[in-house]
Copies of this chain bind each other. A is one copy, B any other.
Amino acid sequence: MRLYTRSGDQGKTRVIGGTRDKDDIRIEAYGTCDELNACTAKAAAVLDDALFPDIAGELRRIQHELFDCGSDLSSIKEDAEWKMGCESITYLERRIDIYTEEAPALQRFILPGGTTASAELHICRTVARRAERQITTLAKMETINEEVQRYINRLSDYFFAAARIVNHRLDIADIEYKRSAVVFREGHNKE
């Protein structure tokens, strides 16, 4: 099999159900989900599976779900059946709640970092947010599966929670941003 088809050399490419310019915001959005998938793979590769069997399993699951997001975003068929559903979001929320409970209480912004694995998870967090910004633009212009947008929003919070757990279980304290106000508060839920 020839992997390359040369058909995209002039800047046009196929989506599911049609053709688009490669710099179309739709391609940008699922291209960034693909980049996030690669970053997630990287985080999983440096994570100690024995110490973090829960997070390792979750990252694997997330990789499959990022493909689901990519599938949904790459389809322009009118009758598309979406792959991403709300149960994946509920699952992330449950994991976030558990990890937020396990980690020390949080009031101020913390510096990304500490261990390598925690730094990688912070990179995933910020790339997920980049994907979310592009999906936001796409959603203004075309129909998308809204669950994808919600999933990616929650995913960045998941990565934040997981990054803290990795440090916490290794007894490494997150460093607070020196000039931070008290920014994390229960009250924010009501907004």
Contact = CB atoms under 8 A, between A and B. Distances in A.
A30 to B, nearest CB: 10
A150 interface: yes
A120 B120 CA distance: 12
Interface string A14-55: 100000011100011001101101111110111000000000
A95 to B, nearest CB: 11
B112 A1 contact: no
Interface residues of A, number: 85
A175 B40 CA distance: 14
A42 to B, nearest CB: 4
Interface string A74-99: 00000000010000000001001100
A113 B41 contact: yes
A105 B1 contact: yes
A173 interface: no
A31 B126 contact: yes
A143 interface: no
Nearest to A36: B126
Contacts of A28: 133
Given A37-B111, A40-B112, 6 more contacts: A5-B191, A11-B149, A14-B191, A38-B122, A45-B119, A68-B179
Interface of A: 1-11, 14, 21-23, 27-28, 31-32, 34-35, 37-42, 44-46, 60, 63-64, 67-68, 71, 83, 93, 96-97, 100, 105-106, 109, 111-116, 118-120, 122-123, 125-127, 129-130, 132-134, 136-137, 139-140, 149-150, 153-154, 157, 160-161, 175, 177-180, 184-186, 188-189, 191
